[in-house]
Structure 1
Amino acid sequence: MNYFKQILGYARPYKKFAILNIICNVFYALFSALSFIALIPMLDVLFPTAKPGVEKEAIVKPVWNGISNTMDYFKDFMSYRVHEFAHDDSSKALILVISLVIVLFFLKNISNYLAMFFITFLRNGVLKDLRNAIFDKITMLPIAFFSEKRKGDTMARISNDVQEIQSSFLSILELIVREPLTIIFTIIMMLLISPQLTLFVFIFIPLSGFVISRIGKSLKKKSDRVQKEQGNFLSIVEETLGGLKVIKGFNGETTFSNKFKASTYRFFNFSNKLLNRQNFASPTSEFLGITVISILLWYGGRMVLIDGTLDASSFIAYMGLAYNILTPAKAISKASYSVKKGNAAAERVLEILNTTSTLEDKPNAIVKPDFTSEIGINNISFKYEDDLVLKNFSIKVPKGKSIALVGQSGSGKSTIANLVTRFYDVNEGQISIDGQDIRNITKHSLRNLMGLVTQDSILFNDTVKNNILLGKENAKDEEIIDALKIANAWEFVKELPKGIETNIGDAGGKLSGGQKQRLSIARAVLKNPPIMILDEATSALDTESERLVQDALEKMMKNRTSIIIAHRLSTIQNADEIIVMNKGEIAEQGTHNELIAKDGVYKKLVSMQSFE
């Protein structure tokens, strides 16, 4: 129930709809009970128990004698009113009582509709807010949180699991007032008709609840399996779509098809077990209900036919009331299943929502509006898991200077970019900007000072314009075109069918590698940050594209502080300082000419690349 309480917290903004729903449900429950009581005078008109002359003499205005005589008073009052309206015309009396029944059933159903109308806004509002909260949390959590998680599983949580919460947990909100109140009002009416018969009803409700709870004990576990498997096959779909070229190139269609079929087969089995267990609740509760109704018919029939302690019309109305309890009782038994099923979905959703980010801004974090002197990387050590990637690493990056980081794969170059942008926090030491530890600066203002161009050109399934506007949301078209020109991208963009309004496809799939990279550079140019971080921005390009991109980068880096992570050494020869890294430590540092003169690690790297 803790999960349920937390989910209900998202219903607070919609409490007015909850209140209106409760009011309508109160009327629904009341009219539901009264509609059966109204059958009594109709049955008395249809099946009179006394001779017309005697009945006429007996019908006088009744006198209230206290709560214990409520039902007799109601029957006598209705008979008096019907007789007063219709006199001796039975057809008029019948029309009156039938009209009363119709009105009560109409009020009952209109109350039900209004209750459902108002709860719809609450349910869909909570669904919307939950999804928004998860999405915001996903974008706020550090990258490390998702390094071991499948994308498909996260997608399943924000789609299927949230939908399951809406259809299970939130459906209980419809039942939490209406069904118990229907049962309470109905039992009150039944007690007024016959306290003895009502004792049997009190046997049915706990018995049904006990049996249903025994059936539903394993539901949460089975539901959790279903939802995890759903995330698994969504991950397979996502990986297949992302790696379709490789799969086809290696004739791996059958391998991935078998993986997917194995997952859907497990989903098939888990779903069957879950739904069969869930479906067992309804026939079980109905059978228990009919059993009790049968006992009531036997016992109540004796009271009418043998003992004479109950009249026939009251008994028929009583049986209608008894059956009226079955529907809400079944709904409540199903709700217990929904809670268990929704519990598993809520647990998976709240696992994300309740995760605390290790990179939260400190309460007193400062906003840094500008960059004035230098970036300091001071004696830092860092590890992703067990082994240190950086060991006691220190460099200074003065404002306006370009620093290049080179070295073999795994030497820790890209890790520097991840730490400076604070995608991760250092384990030891500190990184500072203008002498201020970046952990004491808000992440938003820190990243506002930086532009990032990565080896993988990360573009979105949108227009050229909207991809570049990520750097500056309110930029004008002229500014976008200027940024494209600096990035050597305007030449090909202006030839596109709709220019900057052209959609570039999923991950920029309609463009070449060089074109995608130049759009990434244009995005960074438009942002116009004082610090630029280039993480192997040209390593995946052909020679011609590299030349265009390199030219764009040089234009962009003018008068900017730059940290350049490079694989191709030809791209960083003009850097103010080159840091040669080896296994997380500095092997050499200096300008290109100084390092060549040293005849050390750097010269060997240059020599190897000259033969490529």
Structure 2
Amino acid sequence: MNQFFKILQYAKPYKRFAIGHIISNVFFALFGTLSFVALMPMLDVIFEKNIDPCTKEVIQSTPQKPIYTGFMEIGKYGEEFLAYQMDAFTGGDKSKALIFVIILIVVTFLLKNISGYLANYFMVFLRNGVIRDIRNTVYKKTLELPLAYFSEKRKGDIIARVTGDVNDLQYSMLPVLELIVREPLTILFTLIAMLIISTKLTLFVFIFIPIMGFVISKIGKSLKRKSDRVQKEQGLFLSTLEETLSGLRIIKGFNVEKIFNEKFQFSTDRFYNFSNKLLIRQSLASPTSEFLGICMISVILWYGGNLILNSDSDTLLDGSKFLVYIGLAYNILTPAKAISRGLVNIKKGGAAAERIQEILEAENPLKDKEKAITKVKFDSKIEFKNIWFKYKDEYVLKNFSLTIPKGKTVALVGKSGSGKSTIANLITRFYDVNKGQILIDGVNITDLSTSSLRNQLGIVTQDAILFNESIKENLILGKEDATDEDIIEALKVANAWEFVKNLENGKGINTNIGDAGNKLSGGQKQRLSIARAIIKDPPIMVLDEATSALDTESERVVQVALENMMKNRTSIVIAHRLSTIQNADEIVVLKKGEIVEQGKHNELIEKNGTYKKLVEMQSLD
């Protein structure tokens, strides 16, 4: 229930629809009850209630206008008032009276169904609005969370939460919104009518309501746990699917289709078994509540029948009242079943809500400070002061210190695992340092808003990350208001315009490049990512092994593009191929997270140390 109320908070923006829904449901419940009560005068007409039980003769009497004597006699007053109005309208004609009652019944059912339609009309906007806002909130939170959060999560599980779990809420927990007002009010109004008809019989019925509630709650008790297992397993097979699509080339190249197929089928088999158990338990709630309801009706028939047969009873019922009473008692079953299903669905939806809330409530350690600096202009230098950092247990950077003056190019080199790419992750604040400070013009980057910091940075990574859009759509990520002329100029600087202008019969920058840019070669994709960084025109460039995945010919073209881009900019170059950084203003050699050498290319060669060995190894390669 706690999760249910958390989900209800998303209904606040749609309170006007909620109010309309509530008002419509009040009338639905009221007219639903009145439609049964209206049967009583019709039955009185048919069964000729005003027959003397001893002489069997019709008692000719004109109903008198009743006098209201208090709430306890409201049932008798209502009955007499209806009889008086009906007699006044029909002049005592039984045929006209029957038509009058039938019209009354038709009108009450019409008003009930109009109210029901309006309630559903308002609920459409309420429920779909809540689902949209939940999905948008989860996606927004996904964008805000740091990379560290997703390094420990399966992508498929995240996808399952944004899609499957939200859908579970739509079809399990949120339909309960319809029941909050309608069904309880239907039961309340019906019970009031039943109390008015026969207080003693109604109090007797109350004994069975807690029993029904207890049995239904026992059925729903394990649903949350079973539903949680289903949703987790769904996340696993979606992860397998996502990994399969991402690594299809490797899977086929290594002939391991069978292994992945078996892994996927094992997960879907578990999903099948868990789903069966969940749905079997879920399906048990409705027939159980209906059977218990029929048992209650049977008890009413027995006890009420005795009240009718017992002519000496002070609570004597007549046939028409008793038939209406049975109808009202049965009228309780539908909302009672709906409420029982609703409680079961809350249990089922609770697991989905918890998984969604786990993302929404996840702590973001990189959240901006309350008074973070939002306006930044890079004028002087970048400083790494005594940086210590670890992803898990072992430090990958140890007491790292480096100063990069504005306009200079600093290259970071070293073997894999030496901590080069970690520098890129820290300056862009994808992670925060454990100890030490990173300063831009003397200001700690943790005092800057994340967006203002990243506005100062352009990033080109080893993997050219492109999206299934046109070239133009990919490039304006760097600058939303970039014109076609800006895009073409950036492509020229990035040595990309020559191939772009001839794409797809002259479509040029409007050419769709496919999923992850797979319609293009590796070198073409990398040049587009460079053009994207150029359009952004940031003062600081971070190049994370931007040419390491390219062949020699592509590397030469891309290297020229990189050199064009780095002119008059401060650049941090993380290099795998040392031939690309010989002209850097300073080369920093890392080993196990520590600086072991530092200087220009020629100086480091003369030192005959780690850097020279790295150069010689690559020359041999």
Question: Which residue does the alignment assign to 1:19?
Answer: 19
- Cα deviation digits, residues 277-325 of structure 1 (max 9, x gap): 1111111111111011011112222222342711111111111100011
Partner of 1:302: 306
Tell me how far apart the structure 1 counterparts of residues 400 and 49 of structure 2 sit (CA, whole Å): 102
Residue number among 508, 511, 532 corresponding to 2:517 in the alignment? 508
Q: Does 1:363 align with 2:367?
A: no
Structure 2 distance, partners of 1:458, 1:323, is: 63
Query: Does 2:49 match 1:49?
Result: yes
* Aligned match for 1:281, one of 282, 285, 293: 285
**Take 1:148 and 1:475, find their aligned partners in 2: how far apart are those partners?**
37
Distance (whole Å) between structure 1 residues aligned to residue 61 and residue 14 of structure 2: 58
Q: Deviation at 1:51?
A: 4.6
Matches within 5 A, 1:507-546: 507-546=516-555
Distance 1:427 1:62 in 2: 85
2: distance between equivalents of 1:290 and 1:107?
Answer: 28
Alignment root-mean-square deviation, CA: 1.4
Find the residue that maps to 2:207 and give its secondary structure.
helix
Q: 1:169 aligns with which of 153, 165, 173?
A: 173
Helix, strand or coil at the partner of 1:470: coil
Amino acid at match of 1:562: S
Q: TM-score if structure 1 supplies the norm length?
A: 0.98
**Residues 207-259 of structure 1, C-alpha deviations (whole Å, 9 max, x = no match):** 11000111111111111101101111111110000001011111111111111
Q: What SS does the corresponding residue of 1:539 show, helix, strand or coil?
A: coil
CA separation in 1, counterparts of 2:15 and 2:267? 41
Which residue type is aligned with residue 195 of structure 2?
Answer: L
Question: In structure 2, how many angstroms separate the alpha carbons of the residues matched to 1:85 and 1:126?
Answer: 50
**Residues in 2 aligned to 1:55 and 1:356: alpha-carbon distance in whole angstroms:** 80
CA distance in 2, matches of 1:435, 1:398: 12
Residues 37-116 of structure 1: pairs in structure 2 closer than 5 A: 37-51=37-51, 54-116=58-120
Quick one: which of 136, 144, 150 aligns to 2:140? Answer: 136
Q: Secondary structure at the match of 1:563?
A: strand
Q: Which amino acid aligns with 1:34?
A: L
Q: 1:183 aligns to what?
A: 187
Distance (whole Å) between structure 2 residues aligned to residue 191 and residue 263 of structure 1: 55
Kept after mapping to 2: 8 A contact 1:365/1:441: yes
Q: Does 1:568 align with 2:572?
A: no
Q: Match of 1:609? A: 618
Alignment partner, residue 317 of structure 1: 324
Question: How many Å separate the matches in 2 of 1:82 and 1:359?
Answer: 75
SS of alignment partner, residue 471 of structure 1: coil
Q: Is the 8 A contact 1:205 1:329 kept in 2?
A: no
Contact 1:377 1:393 in 2 (8 A): yes
Q: Aligned with 1:574: secondary structure?
A: coil
Whether 1:124 aligns to 2:139 is no
**Match for 1:598: what amino acid?**
K
Is 1:160 paired with 2:164? yes
The code of the aligned residue for 1:226 comes to: V
Are residues 1:470 and 2:470 paired?
Answer: no
Shift of 1:65: 3.1
Among residues 456, 459, 462, which one is paired with 1:452 in the alignment? 459
Q: Secondary structure at the match of 2:60?
A: helix
TM-score (norm 2): 0.96
The aligned length equals 612
How big is the shift at 1:200?
A: 3.1
Q: Secondary structure at the match of 1:375?
A: strand
Shift of 1:88: 4.8
Matched-pair contact (CA < 8 Å) for 1:200–1:292: no
- 2:408–2:570 CA contact under 8 A, matched in 1: yes
**What SS does the aligned partner of 2:180 have?**
helix
Whichever residue aligns with residue 10 of structure 1, its letter is Y
Conservation of the 8 A alpha-carbon contact between 2:165 and 2:231: yes
Q: Does 1:408 align with 2:415?
A: yes
How far apart, in 1, do the equivalents of 2:421 and 2:92 lie?
99
Q: Which residue identity does 2:133 align to in structure 1? A: D
Equivalent position SS for 1:280: helix
Q: Aligned to 1:214, which of 198, 212, 218?
A: 218
The one-letter amino acid paired with 1:470 is L
CA contact (8 A) 1:531 1:561 kept: yes
Who is 1:35 aligned against? 35
Give the Cα–Cα distance (whole angstroms) in 1 for the partners of residues 387 and 399 of structure 2: 5
The one-letter amino acid of 1:47's match is F
Output aligned runs, 1:210-289, within 5 Å: 210-289=214-293
Instruction: State how far apart, in whole Å, the 2-side matches of 1:558 and 1:288 are.
Output: 81
Q: More displaced, 88-97 or 515-524?
A: 88-97
Q: For structure 2, which runs of at least 5 residues remain unmatched after alignment?
A: none
- SS in structure 1 of the partner of residue 61 of structure 2: helix
Provide the residue aligned with 1:5 in structure 2: 5
Moved more, 329-338 or 195-204: 195-204
**Corresponding residue for 1:485?**
492
Opposite residue 202 of structure 1, the aligned amino acid is: F
Per-residue CA deviation, residues 77-108 of structure 1 (Å, 9 max, x unaligned), is 22232233223543322111001001001111
- d(CA) in 2 for partners of 1:149, 1:165: 22
Tell me which residue corresponds to 2:400.
393
CA positional deviation for 1:3: 2.0
Show the counterpart of 2:599.
590
**1:577 pairs with 2:586:** yes
Using the TM superposition, give the Cα deviation of residue 119 of structure 1 relative to its aligned residue in structure 2, in angstroms. Answer: 1.9
Aligned 8 A contact 1:204 1:289 in 2: no
Q: In structure 2, what is the Cα distance between the partners aligned to 1:356 and 1:124?
A: 28
Of 390-399 and 111-120, deviating more is 111-120
CA contact (8 A) 2:368 2:446 kept: yes
Q: Contact 2:597/2:604 (CA < 8 Å) preserved in 1?
A: yes
Distance 2:292 2:342 in 1: 17
Structure 1 position 367, deviation (Å): 2.1
**Partner secondary structure for residue 30 of structure 2:** helix
Whole-angstrom distance in 1 between the partners of 2:536 and 2:74: 79
Pick the aligned partner of 1:420 from 418, 421, 427. 427
Residue identity matched to 1:491: E
- Asked if the contact 1:380/1:429 (under 8 Å) is kept, the reply is yes
Name the aligned partner's letter for residue 609 of structure 1. Q
Shift of 1:199: 2.0
The CA distance in 1 between the partners of 2:268 and 2:502, in whole Å, is 45
Q: 1:166 Cα shift? A: 2.5
Aligned residue identity for 1:280: L
Equivalent-residue separation in structure 2 for 1:106 and 1:205 (angstroms): 30
Aligned partner of residue 57 in structure 1, secondary structure? coil
SS of the residue corresponding to residue 307 of structure 1 reads: coil
Offset at 1:69?
Answer: 2.6
Q: What is the CA–CA distance in structure 1 between the aligned matches of 2:142 and 2:366, rounded to whole Å? A: 13
Does the aligned pair in 2 maintain the 1:201–1:322 contact within 8 Å?
Answer: no
Q: How far is 1:545 from its partner?
A: 0.6
Deviations 1:551-583 (A, max 9, x none): 000000001100000111110011011111111
Superposed displacement of residue 58, structure 1: 4.7
Residues 340-385 of structure 1 show CA distances to partners (whole Å, capped at 9, x for unaligned) of: 1111111110111111210111112112431101100111111100
